[in-house]
Structure 1
């Protein structure tokens, strides 16, 4: 009799042992169906010596029911799952679930039915059907997906099918992707680019684990360099994974990829339709997906022949997952490359301080691109001291910035204004009684969005219409907007320059690939004069006619006491500054600030990145902060405030006394109420020599809490709210 140890997808259960029937062949990594009580569960067969399970006699083992018709998860991927679970103090099952990105794909291919508009134009439409017709133009998906996109019930759409307004389309779930051609349009590289590309190509050709830090200024052509490594991997019939921090960046990347290789890559992100996810996952597993471009979750896919990983914009905070398994995709990408025995390239114009330290220590091989491609010059950067050059009352553009924008409009050139704050105003209050509009679910003010006429919470998504009167004192028309968001800046631009064509670029306005593509085409065709945007515009875009960048409030990112506030602010402003002067015309950047002597602002103005990194490194070293020390957070939450507080006190009351570990708290989190849950935090600062994860597991393992209490562990936290 044979037995198999299973990693099952049930948070309350550890690994379980089962009997393998005589006729069934399984191996480590096989994906199987097993009985659990009256139900059936999905599981992955694991090596028995790597996971502990209960000691059940063989005669009591229940038999496995089925082996699913997909290749087993490879040994390198299983080791990655174990490492990620161990390092980030998560359950192996929670990590392994990310490898099975489409459970529907486990049963094989076949066909499915999707629906699209027929083009019929009926004489009369109900308001719901009319809204659906507007929302679904050019869309094809299942009834459920179309209903979500259109914001109507499935019944409305089924009625439209019956009325001949929607038609069914049979879709082949396993239709092959077109093949990329590595020699389709080989680029003309500069000497620096060629040297970088040669190093990457040699690493792919030789095989083996080689981590690179590609440190190139904005506009230096980093993408073209690692494209050559991708071409080499494709020539060797190996797969390539490209991680991007934002789905919004994929449209611009796809255009460049298609120009180089002749076809689009395979996409993997949360916005894919279910049929697209199923098709992509099966192509990844079979090895037919040559190049996969995706968000962080693409990192755990079961690639058949992975040969290269690239992490683009590797400094980005969005590579850190903030809930569930709180992993950093940049760091886990390096570990996956190590287990797979392949090269990995971290590309950035403003690398994370941790990556710079690893390069200086010789762990990463640093490849530098110090100049822009084609002779383009880096933009001139000037600081506007808002204490001296004050904007007009209830305005936010300084006289110097207004003058520079006017100059660009006269020349037919483009300007970009950056403010990392969505909406119209961050705070709305009543001028009569002072009432402030606060989210009922979070410790946060509601943000006014004038375009949608809503007050919205940017943490939980709660929305209410802008009221006609104050809910506290009932005074009508008394609402006052305090401070600017990008919508307010766009209004000011329109007020000052009525003839200017203004584009508002935020996650609210560019929320689909089609809208992003439309914006890029309009900007490239000079149909936009002024772009006003959030961090969405700080990276990835190349507009040759964009010659002026204005940073509205450079001090915004320095607020809140974040450990990495200075580094993040430097990266963000340096990235948005890099949008200026990328063509033949010189660029100019104006940074508005009230703290011109702050180290990060002074470094940006002087163009002295090394000085900033050096000062930031020393301050981190003095504080024992990463990369010289370790941070971890324990977040306790509950819908009952007293329950959360008592649980946090219970954890704090049995804290371990370790020589290399300092434990702060518990204290209410800065965001003390989030999505209806009260939150307390403990912050741990440890020397690098400390066994931090073991200490946390030993500390929390014996404790038991009420059912409503959640305990989250965040290793190497990026968010301190």
Structure 2
């Protein structure tokens, strides 16, 4: 949290050292654990209090932590203890949040202070809230009899005894200048007073009339309301086809949480999704919830964090970091699109927010609802084993039918040379636009082209910091790495052979598809939806508005268009490269591809007009394509489970990855080799590697991977701790632990 302001500093009282209470303070730093301090005599330093503690030559805000019951650390002598400076006037961190921080640290093998830092991500919220000054009527009395001018009379007539008024509003209401108010204060007619703080967030009304629910929706909503009303932990999967109204159903559970006087957290995988979601929330409750994500400004973060801590934010919608907000009475946690890998944090403390949401709910005694049209295999396995309950919505809301899905065999119906859209897809888009309906072309690849090479010598433009090709962004005239952010202008000649004007793009990105669409349908109004073109919620909201208002005919998008959007006039979705996610041999490649393409397909035909989905593929016979055509995702997931179960792959076994990285390749190799030689060897545990990571160079660091594979009944954390303790890792080498990895780059 850095240094603290002067107002928090206090003198160091050295009297009565032996009698001063000893407390443990956890600091938001990647340290081994909490430190012992001495509490000042009058300080209320119970566990959870935020305090200012000295560390070396600076003072840092930390939290008084619970003392371990069986700590083996020798206590620091009373004489050596340093006192902390002050207890901050902010609500104490709850016991459930402290236990959650300890749990996450233990599970992910992270320093507890690094996890605490995520729970203290709004430093300004720990400062006393600013006080705004106003004016109130002075009590009658005094020897002087000030003259009451007409202006002063208007001020007095505009005020009521005991109420405090903001100066500018009072002056405007009375039709006087601010100087008149100051003169009245000098003459004893007014006195300054603190303005009462306005509520930071309007309270959502659970009784506000919302959309009418169908019979099936009402049954599902009643089941979720019962879970919340029980005020006990439990996990329920809310599964339903795209367009079945899952959001409206779980918002009914949020309403029940509000009736119980508790707080609710709704987590979304992409902040861009908040645009249409907020419209639905307003329609259900009449007000907006509190928002928490990386795009929120520092002042709003301060106000939101403080409002959550003081119980003034009844509902929060946010990204994965919202899990660490200081809810005093959390009653419901909803994870929307629970299958999304965006819930996995890959840097710093590596954790999966969906799994940690279940833990947060358990420690808070709250209901947890996982929501998806394409649930993850892990969640389905938990339902099958009885650990989770399930509520299902099998049909679309309002009588809309599911879209028909067809494949286009690119071997039989290829695009023209140099193009990427099959004649079959071109004809379908043309017919859709001619009917006045909207169409979408989907390609999960940003930019213009994923590769730029020299036609003369074959040289490929590569990132200098990563094992990755530079992606051409033609509109911005740059080549960019999507892993580290490196960017450079396209060179006029080949860097390898020096041949001028020989660099050519290979393969399509959405910009190239948009270019092809402009040639095919020049009159169509087109919109590219990608993270490059929609950098935040405001841009996403504007794009959604334009589509809903039918200011757009053709959408060209990446995976950002796949989740949660409701475009009633969109009837055709064309997937340019349905095979894209199947390459690379990833454990979850088939599962992820079927989830993504099913979600994309679900954007079509969500109103009266029927929807149609066309998948361009070189392998239409692949099980993923066949599952999408048949619509039988349950059978596909059952088959996927059957292929993983014999080998003990997740969710039927445990995985943990060690990623070794260093600026010097020799150092990375040496440490990875040492870890490999020290690998645990006993029944139920297997170590694969070391081997170069698929991204063997990332952000200038050479990377090697080892993968620990264990039976489901093996607790991998003690195994990992013992393994790591046997290897001396040089200071300039980093070993990152990823328990339950979802990706293998």
- Shared fold (TM-score, shorter chain, > 0.5): yes
The question of 1:99 aligning with 2:99 is answered no
> 2:729: which partner in 1?
705
CA–CA separation in structure 2 for the residues paired with 1:293 and 1:539: 16
Q: 1:256 aligns to what SS in structure 2?
A: helix
Q: 2:291 aligns to what SS in structure 1?
A: strand
> 1:89: which partner in 2?
109
Shift in Å, 1:181: 1.6
Shift in Å, 1:621: 0.4
> 1:146: which partner in 2?
none
Runs of 4+ with >4 A deviation? 50-54, 171-175
> 1:586: which partner in 2?
610
CA–CA separation in structure 1 for the residues paired with 2:457 and 2:209: 65
The question of 1:325 aligning with 2:345 is answered no
> 2:136: which partner in 1?
none
CA–CA separation in structure 1 for the residues paired with 2:472 and 2:198: 45
Give 1:29-428 correspondences, 5 Å limit: 29-49=48-68, 53-110=73-130, 176-428=200-452
**5+ unaligned residues in a row in structure 2: which ranges?**
1-18, 133-194
The question of 1:20 aligning with 2:39 is answered yes
The answer (yes or no) to whether the contact 2:678–2:726 under 8 Å persists in 1 is no
The answer (yes or no) to whether the contact 1:427–1:445 under 8 Å persists in 2 is yes
The question of 1:604 aligning with 2:628 is answered yes
Shift in Å, 1:531: 0.4
Query: Paired residues, what number?
Result: 663
Distance 1:173 1:580, change over 3 A: farther
CA–CA separation in structure 1 for the residues paired with 2:675 and 2:131: 52
> 1:163: which partner in 2?
none
Q: CA RMSD in A?
A: 1.5
Shift in Å, 1:54: 4.6
The answer (yes or no) to whether the contact 2:27–2:116 under 8 Å persists in 1 is no
Distance 1:317 1:172, change over 3 A: farther
Give 1:470-619 correspondences, 5 Å limit: 470-619=494-643
> 1:126: which partner in 2?
none
CA–CA separation in structure 1 for the residues paired with 2:465 and 2:713: 40
Q: Deviations over 1:308-331 (max 9, x none)?
A: 111001110000111111111111
Shift in Å, 1:174: 7.5
The answer (yes or no) to whether the contact 1:244–1:312 under 8 Å persists in 2 is yes
The question of 1:10 aligning with 2:29 is answered yes
Distance 1:581 1:301, change over 3 A: same
Higher mean displacement: 459-468 or 232-241 = 232-241
Q: Report which of the two structures shows the higher radius of gyration computed on alpha carbons.
A: 2
CA–CA separation in structure 2 for the residues paired with 1:173 and 1:388: 69
Shift in Å, 1:445: 0.2
Distance 1:365 1:420, change over 3 A: same
The answer (yes or no) to whether the contact 1:110–1:172 under 8 Å persists in 2 is no
Distance 1:77 1:174, change over 3 A: farther
Distance 1:185 1:85, change over 3 A: same
Shift in Å, 1:305: 1.9
Q: 1:397 aligns to what SS in structure 2?
A: coil
The answer (yes or no) to whether the contact 1:209–1:343 under 8 Å persists in 2 is yes
Shift in Å, 1:225: 0.4
Shift in Å, 1:400: 0.9
Shift in Å, 1:441: 0.2
CA–CA separation in structure 2 for the residues paired with 1:62 and 1:48: 17
CA–CA separation in structure 2 for the residues paired with 1:79 and 1:691: 19
CA–CA separation in structure 2 for the residues paired with 1:413 and 1:639: 54
Distance 1:28 1:312, change over 3 A: same
Q: Deviations over 1:461-512 (max 9, x none)?
A: 0000112222222222211110000111111111111111110000000113
Higher mean displacement: 537-546 or 86-95 = 86-95
Shift in Å, 1:172: 11
**5+ unaligned residues in a row in structure 1: which ranges?**
113-170
